[in-house]
Amino acid sequence: MLRPFTLHRPETAEEACALLAGLGEEAAAYAGGTELLLMMKLGLLRPRHLVDVKRIRGFGDIGLEPLSGRRLTIGAAVTHRAVEQSALVRARCPLVSSVARHVANVRVRNVGTVGGNLAFADPHSDLATLFLTLDASVELLSPRGRRELPLDDFVRGPWETSRASDELLGSVTLTPWASDTAAAYVKFGVHERPTLAVAAALRLDGTTGAGRNGRDRIVEARVAVGCVSLKPVRMAAAEARLTDLSIGDLDDAARAAADAAAAGVDPADDLYGSADYKREMVAVFVGRALRIAAARARGAESAARFPHTVVA
Ligand SMILES: Cc1cc2nc3c(=O)[nH]c(=O)nc-3n(C[C@H](O)[C@H](O)[C@H](O)COP(=O)(O)OP(=O)(O)OC[C@H]3O[C@@H](n4cnc5c(N)ncnc54)[C@H](O)[C@@H]3O)c2cc1C
């Protein structure tokens, strides 16, 4: 049962931060409530004050960062559904749109927000995993001002971030990949949240004509694995095995990269499976994501379908 609380509905970030600072431990930021209200019903969190962030000016916006004109900024109170439907997101970061369509279920997507997802830091987050390959940074606002942190520094571990109690997550900014990048996102799960998620992006040199002769060089590879370690991680050793290769030689390299990724994760036994099982699955799914990305680079889409697996 929910204990009584007072709902505050500030319209500016300054007001909201002042409320959080003044109310201290008694208050929590409240966006879609899909995590927060659940925790409150279970009695795991007992805030007496909820500070609703959905009316704060700018928190519901999606736009290009004014400074670069290229990076994509998504306000903290933007819902998964709005991300999925945004023409700007689809144009600049198409894989983010496709992944948004596969977050949770339609009920959660309609109210759950990007900021709530990142601030909650559930290790089974699709967004945190994918955003690592887009060099994401988050904006934190407090009575002391504004700071920006790389997403990797913001998420510290399971349900733990670098956010101070009087700070609000204002937005996340993504760096779109170059246009000659082929990518794939693959997730597997039997529970509500993914058991394993892999994002892979391959940037080609483009000089030999992607997809025509299979000789394009991979000039940059990005691989992130989520859900199995304490937080989502970029797999530097796997990426190094893919860089400077011809896309035509990807099959052998994908196997080596998948093994490197499996060696690089730090899984634990839990309800989602044993550590050994997860390590094995990382090898399978990193290989799968890389092969799908490579097929897309050649202009093909694999028709293969796997049980409990989402390909975006
Ligand atoms: C059934 C179910 C299935 C799910 N499946 C998936 C899935 O497949 N993939 C996936 O990635 N996620 C999944 N999720 C997680 C879902 O994406 C999040 O629940 C949602 O995005 C959280 O957003 P919210 O707005 O509801 O957050 P809230 O519940 O409002 O808040 C969550 C936490 O973040 C804090 N917070 C919220 N906004 C801010 C802010 N602006 N600044 C600072 N702190 C803030 C709150 O105080 C709270 O601690 C699932 C959740 C459920 C319930």
Kindly report, residue by residue over 230-265, the tens digit of the pLDDT: 999 999 999 999 999 998 888 889 999 999 999 999
Q: Say what the pTM is.
A: 0.95
Binned at pLDDT 50, 70 and 90, residue 206 comes out as: low
- The CATH number of residue 192's host domain is 3.30.390.50
**Is it the case that residue 208 has pLDDT exceeding 80?**
no
Q: Are 164 and 176 in contact (CB under 8 A)?
A: no
Same domain for 48 and 134, yes or no, is no
Burial of residue 171 (CB within 10 Å: 0-12, 13-18, 19+) is: buried
Q: Which pairs from 292-295 meet CB under 8 Å and 24+ separation?
A: 292/184, 292/186, 292/200, 293/182, 293/183, 293/184, 293/200, 293/201, 293/202, 294/182, 294/202, 294/247, 294/250, 294/254
- The CATH number of residue 19's host domain is 3.30.43.10
User: In the predicted model, what is the mean pLDDT of residues 193-219?
Assistant: 78
Pocket test of ligand 1: the residue of 36, 147, 190, 310 to mutate, having most ligand atoms within 8 Å of its CB, is 36
The radius of gyration computed from the CA coordinates of the chain, to the nearest angstrom, equals 20
Same domain for 188 and 136, yes or no, is no
User: 174, 209, 237 — which closes off a domain?
Assistant: 174
Task: Let me know if residue 308 belongs to a domain.
Answer: no
Length of the chain: 312
pLDDT score at 37: 97
Expressed as residue numbers, the domain containing 78 is 62-174
Task: Let me know if residue 132 belongs to a domain.
Answer: yes
**Is it the case that residue 212 has pLDDT exceeding 70?**
no
Same domain for 209 and 259, yes or no, is yes
Same domain for 109 and 157, yes or no, is yes
User: 155, 174, 193 — which closes off a domain?
Assistant: 174
Same domain for 123 and 221, yes or no, is no
Pocket test of ligand 1: the residue of 108, 130, 146, 231 to mutate, having most ligand atoms within 8 Å of its CB, is 108
Q: Are 71 and 173 in contact (CB under 8 A)?
A: yes
Distance 35 CA to ligand 1 centre (A): 5
Provide residues with CB under 6 Å of ligand 1.
28-36, 53, 76, 103-104, 108, 112-113, 115-117, 119-120, 125-127, 168-169, 192-194
pLDDT score at 211: 46
Q: Quick one: which atom of ligand 1 is closest to the CA of 59?
A: 41
- Dump pLDDT digits (tens) for 267-294: 999 999 999 999 999 999 999 999 999 9
Same domain for 15 and 67, yes or no, is no
Nearest CA to ligand 1 atom 16: 117
- The CATH number of residue 159's host domain is 3.30.465.10
Same domain for 94 and 167, yes or no, is yes
pLDDT score at 292: 94
Distance 30 CA to ligand 1 centre (A): 10
Residue 25 DSSP symbol: G
Task: Let me know if residue 203 belongs to a domain.
Answer: yes
Task: Let me know if residue 288 belongs to a domain.
Answer: yes
Q: Are 182 and 270 in contact (CB under 8 A)?
A: no
Same domain for 295 and 267, yes or no, is yes
Q: Quick one: which atom of ligand 1 is closest to the CA of 170?
A: 41
Q: Quick one: which atom of ligand 1 is closest to the CA of 36?
A: 29
Distance 95 CA to ligand 1 centre (A): 20
Same domain for 20 and 82, yes or no, is no
Strand 181-188 vs strand 168-174: parallel, antiparallel, or unpaired?
unpaired
Distance 252 CA to ligand 1 centre (A): 39
pLDDT score at 210: 47
Same domain for 156 and 202, yes or no, is no
User: 111, 139, 174 — which closes off a domain?
Assistant: 174
Same domain for 165 and 67, yes or no, is yes
**Is it the case that residue 131 has pLDDT exceeding 80?**
yes
- Dump pLDDT digits (tens) for 16-72: 999 999 999 999 999 999 999 999 999 999 999 999 999 999 999 999 998 889 999
| pLDDT, mean over the chain | 94
Domain count, the chain: 3
Which residue blocks in the chain are alpha helix, DSSP H? 13-23, 36-41, 80-85, 87-92, 94-100, 106-111, 114-120, 126-132, 151-154, 236-242, 250-264, 275-297
